């Protein structure tokens, strides 16, 4: 089992912002999927979708995730929203360290992504698309998460501090536990009771 902190969740959940802040707090390198795809290909997400299609984008996504996970130092990784739908990537995420799901209500996500600019999946009716994506992605995020942090109604700073506290606590607790016990360890930090 790895020592990375992996942030998962929907578009608009705040993976990049939270990841940067957690990486700073932990003094770790930060890997962000979309930024690394841009660095690797010289193309933005919409450009890849337009020129090469979604399948090519998903292949890039898998590639940057695999290389972030195999980088020598324990890192903080913002995992692309769709990356975990490939079984190999899901397995890598599961074994990579502590998986933190930034959970948000569909309405919160829709408000945050607005018109969906820069996100090709949201070109048509972003709110409806987000709700549909959320309904089938949510069970997968839930099943992968070691830590669940609610985003709704919290400031960016509060989300980052909560994610950091829970991730560090989880990693410390896991090192004290063995096998199945460690696998069942789960932290849920709700914004509301
Ligand atoms: C996607 C999420 C986006 C980007 C692409 C597809 C997804 O990243 O990779 O538009 O399928 O969830 P963010 O989660 O950073 O918006």
pLDDT tens, residue by residue, 54-99: 999 999 999 999 999 998 899 999 999 888 899 999 999 999 999 9
CA–CA distance, 66 with 177 (Å, rounded to integer): 27
Least confident among 75-84, 106-115, 138-147, 184-193? 184-193
CA distances from 100 to 38, 52, 111 (A): 24, 31, 22
For the beta carbon of residue 46, count every other beta carbon within 10 angstroms.
14
* Mean pLDDT, rounded, for 90-110: 94
Q: Is the CB of 11 under 6 A from ligand 1?
A: yes
Q: Is the CB of 130 under 6 A from ligand 1?
A: no
Q: How far is the CA of 118 from the centre of ligand 1 (A)?
A: 9
Nearest CA to ligand 1 atom 5: 119
Q: Is the CB of 80 under 6 A from ligand 1?
A: yes
Nearest CA to ligand 1 atom 16: 11
* Mean pLDDT, rounded, for 148-172: 95
Asked if 36 and 64 touch (Cβ cutoff 8 Å), the reply is: yes
Q: What is the DSSP string of 22-54?
A: HHHHHT--EEEHHHHHHHHHS--HHHHHHHH-H
Q: How confident is the model at residue 193 (pLDDT cuts 50, 70, 90)?
A: low
Q: Is the CB of 81 under 6 A from ligand 1?
A: yes
Determine if the pTM surpasses 0.85.
Answer: yes
Q: Is the CB of 104 under 6 A from ligand 1?
A: no
Q: Would you say residue 188 has pLDDT above 80?
A: yes
CA–CA distance, 190 with 130 (Å, rounded to integer): 22
Share of the chain above pLDDT 70, in %: 99
Asked if 182 and 174 touch (Cβ cutoff 8 Å), the reply is: yes
* Mean pLDDT, rounded, for 163-187: 86
Asked if 5 and 187 touch (Cβ cutoff 8 Å), the reply is: no
């Amino acid at each position: 089992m790895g020592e990375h902190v992996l942030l998962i969740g929907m578009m608009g959940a705040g993976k990049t912002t939270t990841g940067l802040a957690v990486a700073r707090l932990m003094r770790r390198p930060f890997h962000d999927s979309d930024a690394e795809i841009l660095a690797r290909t010289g193309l933005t997400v919409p450009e890849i979708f337009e020129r090469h299609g979604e399948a090519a984008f998903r292949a890039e996504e898998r590639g940057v995730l695999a290389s972030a996970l195999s980088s020598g130092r324990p890192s903080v990784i913002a995992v692309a929203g769709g990356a975990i739908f490939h079984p190999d990537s899901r397995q890598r995420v599961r074994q990579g360290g502590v998986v933190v799901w930034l959970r948000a209500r569909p309405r919160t996500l829709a408000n945050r992504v607005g018109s969906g600019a820069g996100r090709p999946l949201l070109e048509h009716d972003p709110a409806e698309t987000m709700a549909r994506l959320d309904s089938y992605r949510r069970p997968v995020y839930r099943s992968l998460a070691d830590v669940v942090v609610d985003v709704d109604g919290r400031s960016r700073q509060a989300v980052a501090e909560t994610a950091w506290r829970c991730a560090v606590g989880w990693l410390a607790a896991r090192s004290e536990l063995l096998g199945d016990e460690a696998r069942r360890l789960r932290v849920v930090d709700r914004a509301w009771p």
